[in-house]
Amino acid sequence: MNKAEVVKLILKDRPTNTKLESATAFAPTNIALIKYWGKRDCAINLPVTDSLSIALANKGATTKISLIDQAEDEYWVNEQLMAADSAFSTRLNAFLNLFRFQRYHFKVETKINIPIAAGLASSACGFAAVVKALNELFAWQLSDAELSILSRMGSGSASRSIWQGFVHWQAGIREDGMDSHGIALKATWPQLCVGLAIFNSAKKSIGSTEAMNRTVATSKLYSAWPQQVSNELAAIKSAIANHDFNALGMISEHNALSMHATMLSAWPPILYAQPETLSMMNLIWQLRDQGLPIYFTQDAGPNLKLLFEEKASDEIRLQFPNVEIIRPFTC
């Protein structure tokens, strides 16, 4: 299976032309609490394991897609025209090629309110917003699961950016990946907060796909990862159901650190942490020893995302003056 075949399967019997000139959609970014790390099929982004995320409410991508009568696409990010030969344009162009019926060309205008490519899942919300906008533009009326599968053709974690709240991405077992999509959990947790402690907005040194593939191919620790994910997924679901914050925090932090341990044991080694990352981890552990319920998670970048509950937010602001606090269930 390749991406074009997956798109064909999902869009069979759906319109390939439209009377609309443009359509706009928003997709929230998501932070994995149980990480997706490793692909069982690289061609169509099928994961080795399930994963579970929390969406960041109004943080994400708002994307307008218009059909244009030009020889080339045009991509704008936060009102800046992207160079045609940039990595961003190359990746988006390859994705849009999957949907270029009747030789369309697209103008894509994205407003994204998180730093791009700093391990803050900008590609997740970016691809999900493109898929949602295309769904509007062509009036496909796809189900959320189908939108999730199409988003997965852009990046794996995008399959979780279709919904707000907690999302469980089931790895699935089918070769065509039709059972590999997100499922929204019903649970809410109004007191839960995510703090974005961004000290580094630079582009990451190594992309997540390359890092994953190298880890799977060379890390001896990776063989323990699938079983750990399976245990932690069950445990975090029960923490969510019971609003057991310490369990949620502990499982998330442990899962993130274990993922990074698989990367450190890859060869050549992969280390996303910077000196500030380690200082912040030490501060978090120290604050926790002093009784403050705060945990962190870390993705394919140096920045940490803090996990805490509303009642700790004054202290968190004091300790991390630059933190941006997101309340996934209340705004």
Binding mask 83-122 for ligand PMV (x = CB under 6 A): ----------------------------------------
From 2-10, 93-101, 149-157, 322-330, span contacting ligand PMV (CB under 6 A): 149-157
Counting residues that bind ligand PMV (by CB under 6 A) gives 13
x/- letters, 47..86, toward ligand PMV (CB under 6 A): ----x-----------------------------------
Tokens, residue 167? 């999302």
Nearest distance, CB of residue 263 and ligand PMV, angstroms: 9
Query: CA-CA distance, 132 to 45, in Å (whole number)?
Result: 19
Selected range binding ligand PMV among 17-25, 30-38, 94-102, 140-148, rule: CB under 6 A = 30-38
Query: Which residue carries 């030009």 as its tokens?
Result: 70
Q: Considering the complex, state which of residue 127 and residue 308 has its C-beta at the smaller distance from ligand PMV.
A: 127
Q: How far is the CB of 126 from ligand PMV (least distance, A)?
A: 10
Binding mask 247-286 for ligand PMV (x = CB under 6 A): ----------------------------------------
Q: Any contact of residue 18 with ligand PMV (CB under 6 A)? A: no
Query: Which of these segments, 31-39, 189-197, 237-245, 314-322, binds ligand PMV (CB under 6 A)?
Result: 31-39
User: Contacting ligand PMV (CB under 6 A), which of 219, 299, 304, 306?
Assistant: 299
Tokens of 234: 């069950």
Q: H/E/C letters for each residue in the chain?
A: CCHHHHHHHHHCCCCCCCCCCEEEEEEEEEEEEECCCCEEECCCCEECCCEEEEEEEEEEEEEEEEEECCCCCEEEECCEECCCCCHHHHHHHHHHHHHCHHHCEEEEEEEECCCCCCCCCHHHHHHHHHHHHHHHHCCCCCCHHHHHHHHHCCCHHHHHCCCCCEEEECCCCCCCCCCCCEEECCCCCCCEEEEEECCCCCCCCCCHHHHHHHHHHHCHHHHHHHHHHHHHHHHHHHHHHCCCHHHHHHHHHHHHHHHHHHHHCCCCCCCCCCHHHHHHHHHHHHHHHCCCCCEEEECCCCCEEEEEEHHHHHHHHHHCCCCEEECCCCC
CB of 290 to ligand PMV, least distance (A): 29
Q: Does 157 bind ligand PMV (CB under 6 A)?
A: yes
Q: Does 36 bind ligand PMV (CB under 6 A)?
A: yes
Stretch that binds ligand PMV, among 6-14, 153-161, 237-245, 261-269 (CB under 6 A): 153-161
Cα separation values, 199 from 17, 167, 202, Å: 44, 27, 9
How near is the Cβ of 227 to ligand PMV at its closest, in Å?
17
Can you tell me the distance from the alpha carbon of 270 to that of 293, in angstroms, rounded to the nearest whole number?
Answer: 29
Per-residue binding string, ligand PMV, 180-219, x by CB under 6 A, is: ----------------------------xx----------
Is position 161 an interface residue for ligand PMV (rule: CB under 6 A)?
no
Footprint of ligand PMV on this chain (CB under 6 A)? Answer: 32, 35-36, 51, 123-124, 155-157, 208-209, 299-300
